[in-house]
Amino acid sequence: MVVKVLGQPHYACPRRVILALLEKEIEYEIVLVDGKVGEDKGPEYLKLQPFGLYPAIQDGDLTLFESRAIIRYYAEKYKNQGTNLLGKTLEEKGIVEQWVEVEGQNFNPPLMQLVIHILVNPVLGLPSDPKMIEESEKKLVKVLNIYEEKLSKTKYLAGDFFSLADLTHLPLTYYILEPLKKPYLVRDRKHVSAWWDDITSRSSWKKSVELYPFPF
Amino acid sequence: MVVKVLGQPHYACPRRVILALLEKEIEYEIVLVDGKVGEDKGPEYLKLQPFGLYPAIQDGDLTLFESRAIIRYYAEKYKNQGTNLLGKTLEEKGIVEQWVEVEGQNFNPPLMQLVIHILVNPVLGLPSDPKMIEESEKKLVKVLNIYEEKLSKTKYLAGDFFSLADLTHLPLTYYILEPLKKPYLVRDRKHVSAWWDDITSRSSWKKSVELYPFPF
């Protein structure tokens, strides 16, 4: 059964799912859902993803949405295929889950505010809030300082093994370096910088960028 | 081994963990960390929880933080003890994970904005933003309308079984009805209202409220 990934594959959350499928060597196909013509808010897509957000997957009878739920599902379903993304013990898995949550709750929110106020609002003709940009960067710096400390002790976030904890950070960390043009946030931190070079040297990342180039 | 739960047990995120421990019939003890005297930002606590947020747990050699990671860990570790909180199949577990993520990514953020602007800022002498309050309530209404639709089809969020998907919503949904005084958001939705009555009739919820009363 080929997994269908619905959405725009160059967006951050579908890319998170695609990275997991590539790491797990799972066959998939993209079903384009075009927000520019309103397909993401159309009745067909809303039946699968009621929030009208990317991505959703269809895998036989199963429909799933929320990228971090989808990557957990495949990491566990194909435990013994491709890269092990969950660690070897329940305790290691707990630590993986912890850093996946840190990404969703602490890293992603300020970074999304930077994306909205620096990249999205100017395109939409909406005002950007300089105070929000300043505060969000401060919050992100605090998170990255904690990562720097953690990555000085272990090669990856959850330990000395690559896992969902690292994978989930890939799509949006790219935004820091490229479209947001704030590479110093990564490069001024020795261990975060080495971690970024390491996780972007993986074939899954390279393939995802080659197949679905960033539009900027 | 008794699980140590560090934090303030009447706060929403520690309460989420305590509810899971009660459902799984796991012995625990509270280790109070008092933010009022800065213990949450003190060196001892920051060693365990580098963000200085509640809760963290200590369980033998394992330290974990992020409440939604902790509840997943115990739901899986004690799969056959207490309430099954993950469903019976990998597919059911995937759907549970989906709604846990919806809570963390879609339900929690606007609700936290309401808590900050209606409850927290006035106490701290900081300004509240009426536009933010209005926008956040609108976002929350959209989420609750999706829940209403889902709960018209299944008794609980992930299906006809109580799971982490429902449990994770308990602490903050209470804020809508009580301190925020917006019960109509729940009560005007027939299925959300019935779901709320059902999940708050569980002994885990009753015990948590009795042991750790809300301070308002």
Q: Hey, what domains does chain A have and what are their CATH numbers? A: 3-82 (3.40.30.10), 90-202 (1.20.1050.10)
Region B12-20: mean pLDDT is 98
Residue where the block lists tokens 């033998």? B60
Gap between the Cα atoms of B15 and A129, Å rounded: 35
Which residues in chain A have Cβ-Cβ distances shorter than 8 Å to B51?
102, 106, 142-143, 146
Confidence (pLDDT) at B60:
97
Which of left, alpha, beta for B89 (phi over 0: left; psi -120 to 50: alpha)? beta
Confidence (pLDDT) at B49:
98
Which residues in chain B have Cβ-Cβ distances shorter than 8 Å to A65?
98
Taking CB atoms and an 8 Å limit, are A104 and B105 in contact across chains?
A: yes
Sign of the four-CA dihedral A63, A69, A73, A74: positive
Which residues in chain B have Cβ-Cβ distances shorter than 8 Å to A64?
94-95, 98
Taking CB atoms and an 8 Å limit, are B69 and A150 in contact across chains?
A: no
Q: Give the A:B interface size as CB pairs under 8 Å.
A: 79
Check pLDDT > 80 for residue B216. Answer: no
Closest by CA position to B20, among listed B64, B53, B52, B61 = B64
* Minimal C-alpha gap between B62 and chain A (Å): 7
Mean pLDDT across chain B: 97
- In chain B, the percentage of residues whose pLDDT exceeds 70 is 100
Region B24-36: mean pLDDT is 97
Cα→Cα distances A114→A111, A143, B4, B71, B131, Å: 5, 14, 37, 31, 20
Confidence (pLDDT) at B12:
96
User: Which residue among A66, A90, A97 places its CB closest to the CB of B102?
Assistant: A66
Which residues in chain B have Cβ-Cβ distances shorter than 8 Å to A101?
66, 68-69, 104
Residue to substitute from A24, A98, A126, interface B, most B β-carbons within 10 A: A98
Gap between the Cα atoms of A22 and A174, Å rounded: 18
SS3 (DSSP) at A189: coil
Taking CB atoms and an 8 Å limit, are B66 and A95 in contact across chains?
A: no
Token duo for residue A56? 């959703």
Which residues in chain A have Cβ-Cβ distances shorter than 8 Å to B77?
90
User: Which residue among A66, A98, A142 places its CB closest to the CB of B105?
Assistant: A66
In tens, the pLDDT along A69-92 reads 999 999 999 999 999 999 999 999
Confidence (pLDDT) at A150:
98
Gap between the Cα atoms of B173 and A104, Å rounded: 20
> Could you tell me if A188 and A119 are in contact, meaning their C-beta atoms sit under 8 angstroms apart?
no
Confidence (pLDDT) at B178:
94
Confidence (pLDDT) at A215:
80
Q: Which chain A residue shows the shortest CA-CA distance from B103?
A: A66
Taking CB atoms and an 8 Å limit, are B90 and A106 in contact across chains?
A: no
Beta-ladder partners of A159: A156
> Could you tell me if B15 and B208 are in contact, meaning their C-beta atoms sit under 8 angstroms apart?
yes
SS3 (DSSP) at B47: helix
DSSP letter for A182, please.
-
Rounded to 10°, the helix B170-177/B12-23 angle is 130
Q: What is the ipTM of this complex?
A: 0.97
B1 pLDDT band, cuts 50/70/90, is confident
Token duo for residue B68? 């939604």
A1 pLDDT band, cuts 50/70/90, is confident
Taking CB atoms and an 8 Å limit, are A51 and B91 in contact across chains?
A: no
Which residues in chain A have Cβ-Cβ distances shorter than 8 Å to B43?
none
Check pLDDT > 80 for residue B7. Answer: yes
Check pLDDT > 80 for residue B38. Answer: yes
Confidence (pLDDT) at B84:
98
Confidence (pLDDT) at B215:
80
Taking CB atoms and an 8 Å limit, are B50 and A109 in contact across chains?
A: no
In tens, the pLDDT along A188-205 reads 999 999 999 999 999 999
* Minimal C-alpha gap between B76 and chain A (Å): 8
> Could you tell me if A58 and A4 are in contact, meaning their C-beta atoms sit under 8 angstroms apart?
yes
Residue to substitute from B101, B153, B157, interface A, most A β-carbons within 10 A: B101
Q: Across the beta sheet with A28-32, what order do the strands follow? A: A28-32, A3-7, A56-59, A62-65
Token duo for residue B190? 């027939």
Taking CB atoms and an 8 Å limit, are A101 and B66 in contact across chains?
A: yes
Q: Which chain A residue shows the shortest CA-CA distance from B74?
A: A94
In tens, the pLDDT along A126-157 reads 999 999 999 999 999 999 999 999 999 999 99
Q: Which chain B residue shows the shortest CA-CA distance from A139?
A: B51
Region A98-106: mean pLDDT is 98
Check pLDDT > 90 for residue A216. Answer: no
Confidence (pLDDT) at B19:
98
Which residues in chain B have Cβ-Cβ distances shorter than 8 Å to A68?
97, 101
Neighbours of A41 (CB within 10 A): 12
Largest CA distance in chain B: 50
Which residues in chain A have Cβ-Cβ distances shorter than 8 Å to B159?
none
Check pLDDT > 90 for residue A105. Answer: yes
Q: Which chain A residue shows the shortest CA-CA distance from B60?
A: A91
User: Which residue among A65, A98, A142 places its CB closest to the CB of B66?
Assistant: A98
Taking CB atoms and an 8 Å limit, are A73 and B150 in contact across chains?
A: no
